[in-house]
Structure 1
């Protein structure tokens, strides 16, 4: 379903298929302590693993990995993964590089662009995600993009000795189209 690896252009960001040239940016992203907390990422990777990962993203037609670029600068990634073709659904994952790029509208526009692609260029009906309850900034952005809260995963994340809930959210093609969010 994701054999087409598009370049999506907005006013603030351009989304480009992830390739080897994005490895250092990805490594910086996954090494940032605040990004790791917000995404609940316990695992660590080294630069060589990031290089191998980025080099293989174009080989997968069951996912769409896009680098978020502001000009020539890598500022994050947005991914459609966990594809369920029979039910025309997938998961959305996004992470920005760190606090120096937060609050600039990059994530909001990246989500709008990727949903525009998903709902106008693929047969997807549902895009879902989950977000930790303490990540209010992300929850606000997701709601603004049309995501609806569906439920809570209780104590889904153990971080720094405390348990945290996660909220399941989704947006459906008819809802997204009715919201006039199409970027065609």
Structure 2
């Protein structure tokens, strides 16, 4: 569920004054989403920025070159990027914390905000320690719920590569719907990979609250 302190935030239909300066803490059964704290999170951030599995399923993360060795320049870019997330007025970047261990295991992002269309893009990245335990699905559900119920968004969209089966299953569990496919957009080794467009609407969220199978 959403953290108690969000209940007093803003009415769901009051989208005119929405900005992203407020960085919430959202708490579920398995994960907590909170603003980044580099003193606590730097090790985990380095982990997913240099993880070949993350690089395989993403088109790259701003300011990084996943294939390059980690050096002082990469460290500086990382600290500048994540140190500035709390000051962004047009996007939301939160750390994913495993409640069982208290450790950061990834990030969730709402970006590409269109105020006129009340829409955002969504993305998530997890370390190896945050995968295959249901943490990702809950993190997606908490973020999407916040977007619809507190920010007044009407549409949240994403793209997922065809070989990212784990990611697509997590999105489908929360209610994202396949809208289209761009064929063979990525050359990965000797294989061409499709890119799938998925989205979830506020009207769909109101029906199932992120549990379309119920």
Q: TM-score, normalised by structure 2?
A: 0.80
Task: Tell which deviates more after alignment, 142-151 or 16-25.
Answer: 16-25
1:90 CA displacement: 0.6
Over the aligned positions, Cα root-mean-square deviation in angstroms equals 1.7
Question: In structure 1, what is the equivalent of residue 79 of structure 2?
Answer: 51
Matches within 5 A, 1:27-38: 27-38=46-57
Instruction: Say yes or no: does 1:108 pair with 2:132.
Output: no
Q: Which one of 166, 171, 184 corresponds to residue 142 of structure 1?
A: 171
Task: Tell which deviates more after alignment, 40-49 or 60-69.
Answer: 40-49
1:158 CA displacement: 2.2
1:168 CA displacement: 0.2
1:27 CA displacement: 1.6
Number of residue pairs the alignment of both structures matches: 181
Matches within 5 A, 1:5-154: 5-21=23-39, 22-41=41-60, 43-44=64-65, 46-71=74-99, 72-98=102-128, 100-154=129-183
Asked if 2 retains the 8 angstrom alpha-carbon contact of 1:132 and 1:167, the reply is yes
1:139 CA displacement: 0.8
Which consecutive unaligned segments of at least 5 residues does structure 1 have? none
Quick check: which has more Rg, 1 or 2?
2
Q: TM-score, normalised by structure 1?
A: 0.92
Q: Deviations over 1:121-166 (max 9, x none)?
A: 0121000000001111111111110100000122222222432111
Bigger helix share: 1
Asked if 2 retains the 8 angstrom alpha-carbon contact of 1:78 and 1:94, the reply is yes
Bigger strand share: 1
Q: Deviations over 1:67-88 (max 9, x none)?
A: 0001321110000001111100
Asked if 2 retains the 8 angstrom alpha-carbon contact of 1:131 and 1:138, the reply is yes
Query: 1 CA distance for matches of 2:143 and 2:76?
Result: 28
Query: 2 CA distance for matches of 1:41 and 1:3?
Result: 25
Task: Tell which deviates more after alignment, 142-151 or 45-54.
Answer: 45-54
Instruction: Say yes or no: does 1:156 pair with 2:175.
Output: no
**DSSP 3-state at the match of 1:144:** helix
Asked if 1 retains the 8 angstrom alpha-carbon contact of 2:130 and 2:136, the reply is no
Query: 1 CA distance for matches of 2:141 and 2:209?
Result: 11
**DSSP 3-state at the match of 1:87:** coil
